[in-house]
A and B are shown apart, each in its own frame.
Chain A
Amino acid sequence: MNQATLPNPGQHFSFTTHSKNIPGNLAIWAAILSEMSEFAVMFIVYFIARVHNPELFFEGPTRLNTLAGTANTLIMLSSSFFVVRSVMAVRDDQLKAATRWLWGAVACGILYLIIKYLEYRWNAAQGLETETNIFYGVYYYVTFNHFLHVGWGTAGLVWVIYRINSGFYTKTEHEGLVNMALYWHMIDLAWITIFPLLYVIR
């Protein structure tokens, strides 16, 4: 890395405590970039399926539950916000506050999973299944994959709460928390891309 990318010495806000100015550590970025690539493949599948089936992709979003999709977008964005505030609280040595923010994010994760489950049930009641047509095939393929990420991501958030409560993290040493925060933001980024593709764009 060249000199220009090094942190500004007086800078207060940063995840970065290491020489290469990388938030968290390299391992989590390898994971995040792999996951982003995996989602990119799904988005390419979506685009290709779309150009081959324009009518199905024009009609498809109109039969999905926009309210459920919107609610889950608001929930994912809010959970990401809570995670940011948690990291800020740890840096400020407010560990109790940090765990409260994280519990907020966990609640969002659980709420997301419940809404998604109800949405799938609602779809089934409308006769929308994986085999209904290729639009819904892509929809289930992408959203169920994302659903799994939210599931294990939420478990990861509970794990970092345990780590905070067990005294593993301090104001200056909390790389694990930052890694989890970054991974959670990646899950959020995937969802904010999925939402317009499947629910909005026609």
Chain B
Amino acid sequence: MMTKQAEIKLIDTLWIVLICLTLFSAWMAERAEPGFISIVIMAAVLAIKGRIIVDHFMELKHANKFIRTLMRAYFYVIPALIIIVYLYPDQIARWTSLS
């Protein structure tokens, strides 16, 4: 069981973590060379940010399993799609063509 102070401290810390991750993304947008490594890092940053909000801001970490699983899955699937779309653009373009 967390004390009230510990809860506040955790939330405050997570907010700072989210801010730092965002500034890091902005730096990547401006400076980093586009490539596989930066795509993986961006996908990981999104996964971490999403998980923090789902688990701690929405307080799903210890809540209803069905809702928690759906919400957490979102932040596995979208980051995974970012990487897959980067790796296999031509194949996906073929699968999504009408002709």
In the bound complex, residues from chain B placing their C-beta under 8 Å from that of A33 are 67, 70
B96 touches A52 (CB 8 A): yes
A185 touches B58 (CB 8 A): yes
In the bound complex, residues from chain A placing their C-beta under 8 Å from that of B60 are 23
Interface extent on A, as a size class?
A: 35 or more
* Separation of A160 and B54 alpha carbons in the complex (Å): 22
Question: What's the dominant secondary structure at chain B's contact region?
Answer: helix
A72-96 interface bits toward B, Cβ cutoff 8 Å, 1 = contact, 0 = none: 0110011011011100100010000
B59 touches A15 (CB 8 A): yes
In the bound complex, residues from chain B placing their C-beta under 8 Å from that of A5 are 63-65
Q: Say whether B76 faces chain A, with CB atoms less than 8 Å apart.
A: no
B63 touches A13 (CB 8 A): no
* Separation of A14 and B1 alpha carbons in the complex (Å): 11
In the bound complex, residues from chain B placing their C-beta under 8 Å from that of A143 are none
* Separation of A93 and B70 alpha carbons in the complex (Å): 32
B35 to chain A, nearest CB (A): 9
A200 touches B92 (CB 8 A): no
Q: Which residue of A lies closest to B45 (CB)?
A: A196
In the bound complex, residues from chain A placing their C-beta under 8 Å from that of B22 are 70, 73-74, 77, 195
* Separation of A69 and B25 alpha carbons in the complex (Å): 11
Segment from A40-48, A109-117, A121-129, A133-141 that makes contact with B: A40-48
In the bound complex, residues from chain B placing their C-beta under 8 Å from that of A47 are 81, 85, 92
Q: Say whether A29 faces chain B, with CB atoms less than 8 Å apart.
A: yes
Provided the pairs A182-B58, A185-B53, A193-B78 are in contact, do residues A81 and B63 lie with their beta carbons within 8 angstroms?
no
In the bound complex, residues from chain B placing their C-beta under 8 Å from that of A22 are 63-64, 67
Interface extent on B, as a size class?
A: 35 or more
A200 touches B53 (CB 8 A): no
A98-120 interface bits toward B, Cβ cutoff 8 Å, 1 = contact, 0 = none: 00000000000000000000000
A173-202 interface bits toward B, Cβ cutoff 8 Å, 1 = contact, 0 = none: 000000000100100110011011101111
Provided the pairs A43-B78, A51-B96, A192-B46 are in contact, do residues A8 and B62 lie with their beta carbons within 8 angstroms?
yes
Provided the pairs A14-B63, A47-B92, A54-B89 are in contact, do residues A193 and B46 lie with their beta carbons within 8 angstroms?
yes
Q: Say whether A58 faces chain B, with CB atoms less than 8 Å apart.
A: yes
Chain B residues proximal to chain A, CB less than 8 Å:
1-4, 7-8, 11-12, 15, 18-19, 22-23, 25-26, 28-30, 34, 39, 42, 45-46, 49-50, 53-54, 56-60, 62-67, 70-71, 74, 78, 81-82, 85-86, 89-90, 92-93, 96-97
A-B contact pairs, 7 of them (CB 8 A): A14-B63, A21-B63, A40-B74, A51-B85, A52-B93, A182-B58, A200-B29
Seed contacts A43-B78, A78-B15, A200-B29; 14 additional CB < 8 Å A-B pairs: A10-B1, A13-B59, A21-B63, A23-B60, A51-B93, A58-B34, A70-B23, A73-B25, A77-B15, A77-B19, A81-B11, A81-B57, A189-B53, A199-B29
